[in-house]
Amino acid sequence: MDALDAKYPFFATAREAVADAAVSLPELVAADAPAVERARERVERALMDGTVASESGAFPAESEYDAQAELLSYPIARILVSLLDSDPAIEKYAAAEAATAISRIREDLATDDELRSMSTPTIGLDDVLAEFDLADAVQPESPKLDAGGGGATATGGGSGRDPEHYWIAVGPYLRLTSPSWGTSWRLVNRALAGGEVRVAREELLDALEAAVEDRVREGLPFELAAGEGIAAELESGVADLKRLLSERTYAGPVDVVAPDLFPPCMRNLIEKAERGTALSPPESFALMAFLVGIGMTPDEVVAFCGDTSLDAEGIRYQTEYLSDDRGTQYPPPTCETLANYGICHNEADHMQVAADPLAYYEQRVAEADDITDWREENANAAEAESE
């Protein structure tokens, strides 16, 4: 078992490493081995913070767990999340594994070739594409000159280590992306040629994150008889996770919409969208989760974001999901998670007083003397316009 297997435990080579090691997971659990504690941490951080990275530090140099414990924690974590008996828990866990993986992939891709051979093993984009059977479906864009000397682009052939754009076959594109990510992801708004769709490098990584999430989610939940075998050994850990979830479940919305009191990160996202700039999937989700979390209905969010780059259909898709019993079981992303995505910049050191955007907003609302609800202003404006 090497560091690369531990870093990407959902890769085929990592699964083979686990099988070759012939390690008994029930025996590990019975002995409460380090992999078991790491698995508990993995699931807890996934559900609470949107990441599976060890709290002790960045993987792997600063982690207190060795490569074997790190790798074996993955199958045990999948058992734990299965025993939680919650579809939202599975979805959130898979999303956290994918978010952590794509962050590590970005770091690997940013590693200089010279350092790549000297430091911890890393992977290249070709490795990731091959892992998900996308090697033939994704091609880097390379510039070519037409007969008149003008610039043109075509697929095939590398154009340097990090091309800015790629072409991906339509089938995989539709499978890995969603119109709910925004209008720019709709096929009708894409450059399409020869059955291939043009995407920017960061958009390709977004699609690969979806591929990781699909693989992690695959096969979950396991069918395990409660109170028997490995399920019985993990019973106390599962109880702790359920109790933690119960404590962190969002109690209820503030039920007042005061944009001036929104956290800086949410105001920044709104201003960005108002300038016509498309939000990334994590940015869009964070904003939608916050707006639903403060008590806005899907119709209200659509109206609130009417003059932004956000697509009404995508807004409705996300907010209706977040508004039902599945989506509201867990709170929106914490400040730590948002910081990992570059969304939260800890303005005025607010993480010291609020761990998540909702807590920050609740505090500001409680401290405000006079609040005008946006919904009232919107209703009054609509009434005046109809007269």
The per-residue pLDDT for range 220-266, each reduced to its tens digit, is 999 887 777 899 999 999 998 887 776 555 555 677 999 999 999 99
Max intra-chain CA distance, the chain? 76
Average pLDDT over residues 324-332: 53
Whether residue 287 contacts residue 274, with contact meaning beta carbons closer than 8 Å, is answered with no
**pLDDT for residue 125 is more than 90:** yes
* Domain assignment of residue 58, given as a range: 3-115+221-247
Question: Given this model, what pLDDT does residue 246 score?
Answer: 65
Instruction: Say if residue 309 is in the same domain as residue 271.
Output: yes
Residues 32 and 180 in one domain: no
Q: Are residues 308 and 336 in the same domain?
A: yes
Buried b (16+ CB within 10 A) or exposed e, 276-292: eebbbbbbbbbbbbbbb
pLDDT value for 65:
63
Q: Is the pLDDT of residue 154 over 50?
A: no
Residue 172: predicted pLDDT: 97
pLDDT value of position 149? 37
Among 260, 218, 253, residue whose Cα is nearest residue 323: 253
pLDDT at 55 over 90: no
Instruction: State which of 193, 213, 233 marks the end of a domain.
Output: 213
**6 CB neighbour count, 10 Å cutoff:** 23
Residues 227 and 181 in one domain: no
- Report the DSSP beta bridge partners of residue 140: 166
Interval 314-328 mean pLDDT = 71
pLDDT for 82 beyond 60: yes
Cβ neighbours of residue 351 closer than 8 Å, sequence gap 6 or more: 335, 336, 339, 344
Across the chain, what does the average pLDDT equal? 84
Whether the CB-CB separation of 205 and 176 falls below 8 Å is answered with no
Q: What is the pTM of this model?
A: 0.72
Spatial neighbors of 255 by CB under 8 A, at least 6 apart, are 294, 295
**Into how many domains does the chain fold?**
3
116-120, 337-341, 373-377, range with the lowest pLDDT: 116-120
Same domain membership, residue 235 and residue 98: yes
Alpha carbon of 137 to those of 121, 128, 196, 276: distances in Å? 26, 12, 8, 31
The answer on 274 and 197 residing in a single domain is: no
CA dist list (Å): 71 to 20, 123, 331: 13, 17, 28
Q: Do 58 and 128 fall into the same domain? A: no
User: Do residues 207 and 229 share a domain?
Assistant: no
Instruction: Over range 309-317, report the average pLDDT.
Output: 88
The answer on 310 and 193 residing in a single domain is no
Last residue of a domain, one of 213, 232, 260: 213
Are 229 and 358 in a shared domain?
no
- Does 162 score more than 60 pLDDT? yes
> pLDDT over 90 for what percent of the chain?
47
CA distance 172 to 244: 38
Spatial contact of 296 and 313, defined as CB atoms under 8 Å apart: no
Number of residues assigned to the chain: 387
What is the Cα–Cα distance from 36 to 68, expressed in whole angstroms? Answer: 11
Q: Are residues 87 and 235 both part of a single domain?
A: yes
Quote the percentage of the chain above a pLDDT of 70.
Answer: 84
Model pLDDT, residue 62: 40
For residue 158, pLDDT beyond 80: no
Confidence of residue 210 (pLDDT cuts 50, 70, 90): very high
At 282 the pLDDT is: 85
Q: Domain boundary at 213, 233, 261, which?
A: 213
First to last CA, the chain: 72
- Confidence category of residue 136, pLDDT binned at 50, 70, 90: very high
Do 238 and 254 belong to one domain? no
